[in-house]
Amino acid sequence: MPGQLYKQLHSDWQNALVDLQPHIDSLERSLDIKNLAPEFHNIFRALNAPISSVRVVIFGQDPYPTAGVAHGLAFSAEEHSGRIPASLKNIFIELSDDTGNALRTQTDLSDWAQQGVLLLNRILTTSVGSSLSHSKLDWERVTDRIAKVLGERDVVAICWGLYAQEVAKFFREEWLITSVHPSPLSAYRGFFGSKPFSTANRILSKNGMTPINW
């Protein structure tokens, strides 16, 4: 019965997306639960905290298609999956270069989420084994609204890749960080050296907010 997906949302997001509930129910009916990344119960995992807790949002494209890797937080990967996705590996390289921290190996980015970093793909599902297979379901109606809500608040937006940058229009320029996607196909064309983590913390500090412990 449709309505289970909408129930995954924190009550704040339910209120913000209430007029989109019929569309979310339609999305739910379109999904093949047995062939889905992430698993159904994790689709809205990124949105299970209050809107007021969000300090940074990182936008990606769509979930990792390999079974057992995606778990509802963009770019994050299940710790037990036994592998570091190529894009995440590049994120960790830039993170280390940017902050001076040791090279991270923990693939689960829940510690970022717990600090108010919303990790959100533009398209929230895909079929196992196939990237962008749900590109025609119109997840963007939902994620555009999320971007609009956050853009009206003091939230730093980090948009990686052209697809993610479509939501840049919802954010004030001084709160916006953009670069190419961290995938191996593009990371050397402007992701490496972009310093998104220190830049985000600088924006937060400038506005009297606590920096993220990346």
Which positions are annotated as active-site residues?
62
**Ordered DSSP codes for 101-121:** PPPP-----HHHHTTTEEEEE
Find all residues with CB under 8 Å of 100, minimum gap 6, and list them: none
C-beta of residue 55 within 8 angstroms of C-beta of residue 31: no
* Adjacency order of strands within the sheet including 156-160: 117-121, 56-60, 156-160, 176-179
* Cis before 38 (ω within 30): yes
Q: Which two tokens stand for residue 67?
A: 């079974």
202 contacts: CB under 8 Å, gap ≥ 6: none
- What letter does residue 210 receive in the DSSP assignment? P
Neighbour-count burial of 131, counting CB atoms closer than 10 A to its CB (0-12 exposed, 13-18 middle, 19+ buried)? middle
